[in-house]
Chains A and B, each alone.
Chain A
Amino acid sequence: MASHQEFERSIGEVVERIGHLKELANARGLDVDDELKRLEARLDELRAETFKSLTPMERVLIARHPQRPHSLDVIERIFDDFVELHGDRAFRDDPAVVCGWGRLAGRSIMVIAQQKGRNTKENLKRNFAMMHPEGYRKALRLMRLAEKFRRPIITIIDTPAAYPGLGAEERGQAEAIARNLLEMSLIETPIIAAVLGEGGSGGALGLSVADRIVMFEYAIYSVISPEGCASILWRENSEEARQKAASALRLTAPDLFELGVIDEILAEPQGGAHENWDLTASLLAEALQRHLDDLLARPVEELLARRYEKYRKMGAWAGD
């Protein structure tokens, strides 16, 4: 079902052979159980091998995998009674971000999620999940709504970047992101950010000032894309420069955990989230519930104080 990237090619070949074998068995009524078992064992082995030693750039490709579950795929699997709400009440609705009420284990939650498209038509509508200022303002409006009704907020992060375009600049992309950073640090209700795929710089940060940040194992989060970094620092856009940039930026989930930026790494199904959407969604649901239980038990003053400290201590320097 899933299409495969270059580094997964051998996995893809075995998956294909299994498919052929099953077809053959069905068509001709052959007994292929032994052969199937052998191939499936080989598949497990290959996946374990490939994913044990992924390079940072390969992780970037998994985070952007065309078959990776996107926000709505996850939302429909874990939230009940999801109702989408639209618009920033000032300019327009930004379809690059989906916001609305959902219910998780009986609790109403405001969900704010960046949404990639799966094909050209969808991507035209979703703008490849690259938000405009009105998207950040819609998100803030609805986070305020959650605060008003004392409901927690969950943001799902999956964007290459905030959109760098004419209209975005005219309408104050920088101000919109800055405003969200400030307001999210003060919102009096629990916030959890979940990095599902790509955490693209300020575009991702504008929705992820939170009490907890959880991140999928092969998701990435970076100040700049490897491509952008390669073209600026190495002044070239070669495969080699991109790989160097991806390694230098320390953008993988284990890196971010080590740097003290995220709170938890969510293990992905074997072979990556794209191999099993249901399992991916249930792993996220479990983590969200666990963090919500903990955060909702704390007084709001404590939440805000801890949220402040969390960001206040990020960074590294010498001297005092």
Chain B
Amino acid sequence: MTWFKKEKKKITAQKRALPGDVWAKCEDCGEIVYREKLAENFNVCLKCGHHFRIDPDGYAELLLDRSLEEEYDSDLMSVDPLRFVGPTAYAERYERALRKVGRKEAVLTGRGRVDGLEVEFGVMDFRFIGGSMGSVVGEKIARAAERALKSERPLIMVSASGGARMMEGVLSLMQMAKTSSALGRLHRSRVPYFSILTNPTTGGVTASFAMLGDVIIAEPGALIGFAGPRVIEQTIGQELPDGFQRAEFLLEHGMVDMVVPRPELKPTVSKLLRHMVDGQSG
């Protein structure tokens, strides 16, 4: 549950830069880059290779031939099942996220194509309450898995999340069981499931659908873990080593299949899919 630790000043990677907003500063190496050049380079820093955060539409465009061809369940909205009493009301945080992001939840699901092959696609939105998983996120992902099972289309999920949504209490925890059960059924079928982990993927999302891919691919430098770094530091009372819980660390420890830079993401997914899907060897 690290999602609201320092909200880092976002260096956005929007395609339509506002007038005057033509330069971006890399939060890793400090290089000032021309936004247009950055966009041409998949929002990867030209100097150091740092992956700027991109939004769900960015991933849909990156991975799918014609972005999302049909969106599902876009009307599902969160309610406040616990009538959560916190410093800020859940409804208020939700409204704020809604206005900021222009979508109703922290995951976007739908159907598209990867080099012509039809897939079920889901992508999380870290801007929406830290990409946290509440009932709606869990439900949309479970439905995506069920659609993949029924349609026999491979499922691709792109994750970015701080974990479970505290304000839905134990109901958000149960979404881990719900999504994993739905993937269990898919697992028993011969429909591939690809999980793509982006910065950051932690908590209940990592401990459920994100780590259950037939193939798990991480973006370079992405923070991926169960517990947040701050919680671990507090628990063990020492500083964490450099690179701990980064994508490359997980690769080294055998937890992900590959670390793939953004420009190679689609070709890699496409190649892998064709090894795993019947009648697509051409």
- Which of chain A's residues has its CB closest to B177's CB? A311
Q: How many chain-A residues does the 8 Å CB contact rule pick out?
A: 56
Q: Are B253 and A170 touching (Cβ within 8 A)? A: yes
Q: Assuming A166-B240, A182-B184, is B253 touching A171 (CB within 8 A)?
A: yes
Known pairs A164-B232, A181-B207 / 16 extra A-B pairs, C-beta < 8 Å: A169-B225, A173-B225, A174-B206, A174-B226, A179-B211, A179-B212, A202-B176, A202-B203, A221-B170, A223-B170, A224-B1, A248-B85, A251-B169, A314-B178, A315-B135, A318-B79
A83 part of interface (Cβ distance < 8 Å): no
| Chain A residue at minimum C-beta to C-beta distance from B209 | A178
Could you tell me if B181 and A164 are in contact, using CB atoms closer than 8 angstroms? no
Distance A255 CA – B170 CA, assembled complex (angstroms)? 10
Whether a CB of chain B sits under 8 angstroms from the CB of A65 is: no
Query: Residue A247 at the B interface, CB < 8 A?
Result: yes
Q: Does A183 contact B (CB under 8 A)?
A: yes
Q: Mark A149-188, 1 if CB is under 8 A from B, else 0.
A: 0000000000000111110111111110111011101100
Asked whether, in the complex, the Cβ of B235 is within 8 Å of the Cβ of A164, the reply is yes
With contacts A205-B176, A319-B75 taken as known, whether A259 is within 8 angstroms of B171 at the C-beta atoms is yes
Tell me the smallest distance from the CB of B82 to a CB of chain A, in Å.
Answer: 5
Q: Quick check: A165 and B232 within 8 Å, CB to CB?
A: yes
Contacts of A209 in B (CB 8 A): 177, 180-181
Q: A174-B207, A261-B171 are in contact. Are A317 and B178 (CB under 8 A)?
A: no
Output the nearest chain B residue to A307 by Cβ-Cβ distance. Answer: B181
Q: How large is the interface on B (under 10, 10 to 19, 20 to 34, 35 or more residues)?
A: 35 or more
Which of the 9-residue segments B120-128, B136-144, B257-265 touches chain A?
B136-144
CB <8 Å contact, B226 and A164: yes
Task: Say whether B215 faces chain A, with CB atoms less than 8 Å apart.
Answer: no
Residue from B76, B78, B226 having most chain A Cβ neighbours under 10 A: B226
Contact of A232 among B1, B81, B173, B232 (CB under 8 A): B1
Given contacts A175-B211, A179-B212, A185-B184, contact A233 B166 (CB under 8 A): yes
The reply on B87 being an interface residue by CB < 8 A is yes
Any chain A CB within 8 A of the CB of B185?
Answer: yes
Q: A174-B211, A261-B170 are in contact. Are A169 and B181 (CB under 8 A)?
A: no
Residues of A in contact with B (beta carbons under 8 Å apart): 162-166, 168-175, 177-179, 181-183, 185-186, 201-202, 205-206, 209, 221-224, 228-229, 232-234, 244, 247-251, 255-256, 259, 261, 307-308, 311-312, 314-320
CB pair B207 A173 closer than 8 Å: yes
**Subset of 6 A-B contacts with CB under 8 Å:** A164-B231, A171-B253, A178-B209, A209-B177, A232-B1, A250-B169
B237: shortest Cβ distance to chain A, in Å?
Answer: 11
Give per-residue flags for B205-249: 1 if the beta carbon is below 8 A from chain A beta carbons, else 0: 011111110000000000001110001100110001000110000
Q: Does B108 contact A (CB under 8 A)?
A: no
Instruction: List residues of chain A with CB within 8 A of the CB of B174.
Output: 205, 261, 311, 314-315
Residues 120-170 of B contacting A (Cβ, < 8 Å)? 134-136, 138-139, 142, 164, 166, 168-170
Q: Does B183 contact A (CB under 8 A)?
A: yes
User: Quick check: A185 and B181 within 8 Å, CB to CB?
Assistant: yes
User: Is B32 positioned at the interface, with any CB of A under 8 Å from its CB?
Assistant: no
Which residue of chain A has the shortest Cβ distance to B228 in the bound complex?
A: A164
